[in-house]
Structures are given as structure tokens and as C-alpha cells.
């Protein structure tokens, strides 16, 4: 797993549209978020995570795992990635204030401002002039939920503002990683993450997502593990969920595109809550090239779309709305979000795998058939690089 620097996407678009063939679907390659570098020593200019007013909060499918968000196998090297011990219970808060998959939807918590790129209603945006050509060069596959009950998907933790900060040594992308929150070096990783199953993503990507619910800060790490009495990660990023701060141009995050992971996940509390899903969803492709806004970081694995590209589910395919292919109201809610907010390409991985939370409450017998009703050709590419 290594990050490949690529030629800017704009310089390659004409060649790609004119004659590039679509990559074959793969099931094992993942993208390391960044280039090799030493441990970060300072909070870099342009990194997300400046202080702001906290937003109030409340106290995959079966089969092949997607390599974009879940990976395969275990975290390399010695040490624990949090995959042993008694599993955490979604929606419950421990005596120390740590919650797994907290219900932020019922509390009305706003994840990034409403005008953030994740939260924009793009139902009225124009398709890219090369949309049809680009879609034709993508693998025509059925969508797949890259989440479900353990071990599928990406869990998230929430902690109180009093949670002790732990130093993290970055082993791959230290020069593009945040050492911690502004003025408070370290990440609020609870000790339970050392031994509690389901606190860190299973597999080689080993993402750890922690939300300081009092300061409304998001901490994300990649290739996370506890080893020799300390925390290590390939890369890490801090985001202030009350602002639209973007990573410095050229920088990665815990994701290949330099974006936050949490805001793009399909979450149980949103799907089975009373409200709508009002944000775009994270997805992966095996082949990508370069990046466009809102992404900040390149990758080049031989594809036709750049990281940051946004797809939108069509409202009519052969005269019928694809949302109506499922009768399940919760699955319809997910498909409607794909029409209103779209999908954002955030990492390399299995083709058309949609990212979501690891949560024991998911039912694969509901998720898999509903997602399988959609294919790549049911989508269109929106204007590449559009900001608003």
C-alpha cells in the first residue's frame, strides 16, 4: 500500500476521455493516505481543526469486504488495532463518557456547516460535459454497502472534552499529519480502544474516528495501532466540525483524498432516524487519477476520475425513478441522498463500494439487495471541481 503522486487531473482529462479503458475491478488494493515521512512536529498551516463553537450533541454487507474502507487482513506489524476484547455496544455511553456510534442525528448535531461540500444539495447542478464518456469508462458494476455488522464498516467514537490526549507517532505521512487539536497536542483516544473490539476499523486500513463532543472536533487516523505502550498511525487529521476548513492543498488526511471520513458515512442513526440524510456519501473506485476540489490530495492508480469527483444518482432511468426499485423506506432514504447530495470519491478500493458505519444493528439481508439494485450506469458525473 503506497501513495502515488500523479499529474494534475486537468492535464490528463482530454487523454482519459478520449481513449482510456476502464480498470478491472479489484478486491484487494488499498491506498495509503500520504507519502512516507517522519513524525509531525507542529500544527501545519492550512490544516483543519481550528477552535470554534461546538454544536450540541446527544449523550457491509456480507461477502467481500471493500478495500477502500475496510481492507483485508490485519494491521501490519506487531501490536493491537483494537480487534480483541469485549465488543462495544452501539449507542451506549460508558462510565468514562465514551460512546460507540453515538446518535447525533436525534440530537440535531450539525456535522460541518450546511454550506460545506459534504452538505450541499446538488440536485440542481449540471452534469459534467464529459459525464457520459467518463461513466462509460468506469466498471459497470452493482453498488455494494461497504458496511454492516462487525467486522464490516468504519466505527466512530465520541468522547467528552475531558478525555485525556494521547501522543500519536505517524509512521507514513508525518509531514502532512496534525499532531493534535490547536494548542493541545495529542488525540483523545480512550484507553478502551486498546482492547475493545469494534473501536478501530477492522482490516489493514484500521481507521480510528474520534469526536470530541464538547469541542465538536473530529480526530481521524489511518493504519492505527497500539504497540509497545504507545499509539502509532500512518497519518492523522483534525477537523473542526463547526467550520469549513479544508486541508492544505497537496495534503492527505486519514483518507487518500484529504477529506474527512466521518461526514460521508452512511450512519445507522440517520437511516433509522426521523429525518433525512442531508449529506453526500463516501465511495471508492479501484482506479483514480489526480484530484479536484474538494479533495486536496492526488492519487494515480490508472482510473478516469479524480479524487473529489462527485456522482449523482439519476432521477430517471428508462423512464422510471431508480429510488422506486426498493420498497424499503430506510433504503429509499439512502437512495434519495444519492440524488440530492451525491457520492464523493474519497479513496481507492473496490468499485462502487459505499462507505458506512460498522454497527451491529445493520441487517445485511436488507442492505445488500437494496444497494445491488443500482449500477454505475445509473449515475452521472457532476461538474468536476465545482465548489458551489
Block residue for cell numbers 509531514: 175
Residue whose C-alpha is closest to residue 32's, from 237, 208, 173: 173
* 8 A C-beta contact, residue 131 and residue 342: no
Per-residue pLDDT tens over the stretch 251-284: 999 999 999 999 999 999 999 999 999 999 999 9
User: How much is the pLDDT for 354?
Assistant: 98
Q: How many CA atoms are closer than 13 Å to the CA of 96, on its beta-carbon side? A: 14
User: How much is the pLDDT for 88?
Assistant: 81
Q: What is the DSSP string of 131-188?
A: HHHHHHHS---B-EEEEESTTSS---EEE-TTPPPB-EEESS-GGGS--EETTEEBB-
Q: How many CA atoms are closer than 13 Å to the CA of 169, on its beta-carbon side? A: 10
User: How much is the pLDDT for 257?
Assistant: 98
Distance from CA of residue 120 to its chain's centroid? Answer: 17
User: How much is the pLDDT for 34?
Assistant: 42
User: How much is the pLDDT for 84?
Assistant: 52
User: How much is the pLDDT for 262?
Assistant: 98
pTM: 0.82
Block residue for cell numbers 445509473: 378
Please state, in angstroms and rounded to a whole number, the distance separating the CA atoms of residues 50 and 218: 11
Q: Residues 6 or more apart from 363 whose CB is under 8 A from it?
A: none
Residue ranges in the chain modelled with pLDDT below 50: 1-78, 82-83
Residue whose C-alpha is closest to residue 208's, from 158, 171, 161: 158
Residue whose C-alpha is closest to residue 188's, from 226, 159, 222: 159
User: How much is the pLDDT for 80?
Assistant: 55
Amino acid at each position: 500500500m503506497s501513495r502515488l503522486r500523479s499529474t494534475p487531473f486537468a492535464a490528463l482529462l482530454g487523454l482519459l476521455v478520449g481513449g482510456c479503458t476502464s480498470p478491472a475491478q479489484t478486491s484487494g488494493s488499498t491506498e495509503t493516505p500520504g507519502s512516507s515521512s517522519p513524525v509531525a512536529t507542529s500544527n501545519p498551516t492550512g490544516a483543519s481543526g481550528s477552535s470554534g463553537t461546538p454544536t450540541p450533541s446527544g449523550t457491509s454487507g456480507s461477502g467481500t469486504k471493500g478495500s477502500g474502507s475496510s481492507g483485508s487482513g490485519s494491521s501490519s506489524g506487531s501490536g493491537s488495532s483494537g480487534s480483541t476484547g469485549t465488543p462495544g455496544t452501539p449507542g451506549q455511553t460508558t462510565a468514562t463518557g465514551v460512546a460507540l456510534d453515538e446518535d447525533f442525528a436525534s440530537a440535531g448535531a450539525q456535522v460541518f456547516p450546511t454550506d460545506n461540500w459534504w452538505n450541499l444539495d446538488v440536485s440542481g447542478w449540471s452534469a459534467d460535459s464529459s459525464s457520459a464518456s467518463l461513466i462509460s469508462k468506469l466498471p459497470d458494476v452493482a453498488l455494494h454497502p461497504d458496511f454492516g455488522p462487525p467486522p464490516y464498516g468504519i466505527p466512530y467514537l465520541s468522547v467528552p472534552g475531558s478525555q485525556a490526549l494521547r501522543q500519536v507517532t505517524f509512521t507514513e505521512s508525518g509531514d502532512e499529519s496534525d499532531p493534535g487539536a490547536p494548542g493541545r497536542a495529542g488525540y483523545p483516544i480512550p484507553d478502551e480502544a486498546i482492547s475493545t473490539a469494534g473501536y478501530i476499523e477492522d482490516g489493514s486500513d484500521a481507521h480510528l474516528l474520534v469526536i470530541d463532543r464538547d469541542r465538536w472536533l473530529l480526530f481521524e487516523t489511518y493504519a492505527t495501532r497500539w504497540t509497545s505502550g504507545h499509539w502509532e498511525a500512518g497519518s492523522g487529521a483534525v477537523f473542526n466540525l463547526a467550520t469549513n476548513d479544508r486541508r492544505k492543498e497537496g495534503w492527505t488526511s486519514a483518507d487518500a483524498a484529504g477529506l474527512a471520513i466521518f461526514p460521508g458515512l452512511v450512519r445507522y442513526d440517520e437511516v433509522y432516524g426521523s429525518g433525512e440524510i442531508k449529506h453526500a456519501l463516501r465511495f471508492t473506485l479501484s482506479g483514480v487519477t489526480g484530484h479536484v476540489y474538494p479533495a486536496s490530495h492526488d492519487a494515480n492508480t490508472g482510473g478516469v476520475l479524480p479524487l473529489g469527483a462527485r456522482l449523482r444518482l439519476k432521477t430517471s432511468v428508462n423512464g422510471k425513478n431508480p429510488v422506486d426499485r426498493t420498497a424499503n423506506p430506510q433504503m429509499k432514504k439512502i437512495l434519495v441522498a444519492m440524488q440530492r447530495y451525491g457520492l464523493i470519491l474519497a479513496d481507492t478500493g473496490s468499485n462502487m463500494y459505499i462507505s458506512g458505519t460498522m454497527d451491529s444493528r445493520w441487517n445485511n439481508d436488507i442492505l445488500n439487495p437494496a444497494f445491488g439494485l443500482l449500477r454505475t450506469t445509473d449515475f452521472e458525473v457532476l461538474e468536476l471541481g465545482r465548489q458551489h
